[in-house]
Amino acid sequence: MKLVLFYLIVCSFIYADSYPSFTQTELQKIRSTNVISNNRIIDYRHTLIRYKKLSKTEQLKKVNYYLNQLLPQYDAITQHQQDEWATPKEFLKLGYGDCEDYVLIKYYSLIKLGFDKKRLFLTVVKDKFEGGYHMVLSYFYYKNRPPLILDNLSSKILDIHTRKDLTPLLFINTTGVYKIDKAYKLHKVAKKYKEFEEVQNKVKNNF
């Protein structure tokens, strides 16, 4: 019993301060207007607590599959404008979003689980078959090796070499913007990416 209580106390400290988190006041406000959103947020919090004890490989699989169950929707419909990036808290409250919204919530969820944010990259790709642009999350398990791809359009996590349908264009994280060469080495091409900077500023203010 004491061990269970200790575990719950430790988890409460871990998850109270790591983003995305909601205060009781926020939850009460959300619950008063949208019970479904409140239940979604509670389920997300409890799910990540369960994932904490899993291996990193299992955490990647579980996070990708779990968050892919949120509904997809284009920005023009959800935000009434093009290319509006939602923070994870906004995405959880709304319940659906565009590809970059999935990437952002997976990015912050994995950091919440203890992943090194320097190995995680928001990745702009081009679909070789459809011809359009898309965003996925890349995780460099090993340096200078093909990164693993978490995609809201696939439940499978494959490396970028295996994903023959995707051409990686830009890799983005807090350290800058990069391009990748044939040896899977990253080369910095810019210090910042405007949309990601805007999201980070909102996250700093707990939005």
Query: What pTM does this model have?
Result: 0.88
CB burial readout 153-166, b (16+ within 10 A) else e: eeeebebbeebeeb
Res 130: pLDDT: 86
- Write out the residue range of the structural domain in which residue 157 sits: 2-204
Q: What three-state secondary structure class fits 117? A: helix
Q: How many domains does the chain have?
A: 1
pLDDT in tens, the chain (207 residues): 444 444 444 444 334 458 999 999 999 999 999 999 999 999 999 999 999 999 999 999 999 999 999 988 664 433 444 568 999 999 999 998 999 999 999 999 999 999 999 999 999 999 998 889 999 999 999 988 999 999 999 999 999 999 999 999 999 999 999 999 999 999 999 999 999 999 999 999 999
Res 8: pLDDT: 43
Res 15: pLDDT: 40
CATH number at residue 109: 3.10.620.30
**What is the CA 30 to chain-centroid distance, rounded?**
22
Res 74: pLDDT: 60
Pairing relationship of beta strands 166-173 and 176-180 according to DSSP bridges: antiparallel
- CA 69, 201, 140: angle at the middle one, nearest 5? 55
Res 95: pLDDT: 92
